[in-house]
Structure 1
Amino acid sequence: MESAKQQYLASLKHFCPALTDHELALFVSKLSFQMLQKKEFFIEAGNVQKAIGFIAEGLVRSYYVDPAGDETTVGFYQVGDYATHYHSFLTRNPSNYTIQCLEPTVMACLSYENLQWVYGQSTGFERYGRLVAEEILKRQQARIESFIFQTAEARYLTFIEKHPGLFNRVSLSHLCSYLGIERQTLTRIRQKLAHQ
């Protein structure tokens, strides 16, 4: 868990370099850690997200199940990312999403109550919370706009560019679901690009 703690501290310092050692120690004192196996759930749809999870090791995906029972992947999160349905976390309402581990995963977790406590200890922590929320919002906005403004091929190329190490770590069915395309379409796109 020491490695997970150090990774979380590095992320904190990245977002808020002005935090003092005392402030960082306060923050770390409120963390808990979860070790999850492949296929285990960090959160299941219908439950309130009680803690933000910072991924110190591993890979997870977020998805929802439609009324027909089909899964749609909405995100992949790896080391250094926050695995959260932020709306559920903030409003204390049940999440519509499930977050499942694709690999053995170690999370540094901060509960809603402990986050509120650390906000009260320092304005630096409030800045951290705002910057993390902005990062989550930017990612969600980019995903929405990719479906409005990009072709399937452009979405695939953007995914490869932004996540070069993920392609061989996620299944093609999860990737197709994330890109909003059929498997045959992905095959055609890859064949076309291979011949360019």
Structure 2
Amino acid sequence: MARVVMQAVVSVDGYIAHPDDTVGPLFDWYGNGDTELSAGASGWTFHVSRTSAAYVQPFWDAVKVTVIGRHLFDTTNGWDGKPGAGDELVVVTHRPLPEEWLADHPEAPFHTADSVEAGVALAKKLAGDGLVCVTAGNLGGQAFSAGLVDEVAMDVVPVVLGEGVRFFGDHAATVLLDDPDQVVQGDRVLHLHYTVRR
């Protein structure tokens, strides 16, 4: 059965982006090392510290399906039809994807669902026994509050943004996590992994 992890790069004060959706220094660590990190189907490559690569690469390789919201789809132009991680992508949206985008990306392994619950269920079906990654923010917060998230992974960058898009969005409920089972110090990033208590 697929596991569901909510993941993002996050500031020390809990933000995954500025109010205008830019990430500022949050992604600087993706280019501060000499070890290549590959994001699979997207073709993106980064150069991070050896320690970060040893943690992140197996995580990205385990992701089979990513679930995102419509806002992130629109902000990134659907990553030009290539999932950032995994083989397939589910967009939670109440509107059809733009016809022009679909025409430009006929081979995109993208699916849509009209609710967070339906999106996670579809992603789990597509992932088999692999990993489903739900992006943080309002979508992730909704999935977390609904009890659909099994694990939380944070790449914490030593910066305080002061305001912006919160890791758990506006939907997080009080939920206990186990102690972190992975704490990995990279260069200008701390990788944390938690399991949600059941």
**TM-score scaled by structure 1?**
0.25
Greater CA radius of gyration, 1 or 2?
1
Which structure has more RCO (C-alpha within 8 Å, separation ≥ 6)? 2
**Structure number with higher helix proportion:** 1
When the two structures are superposed, what TM-score results if normalisation uses the length of structure 2? 0.25
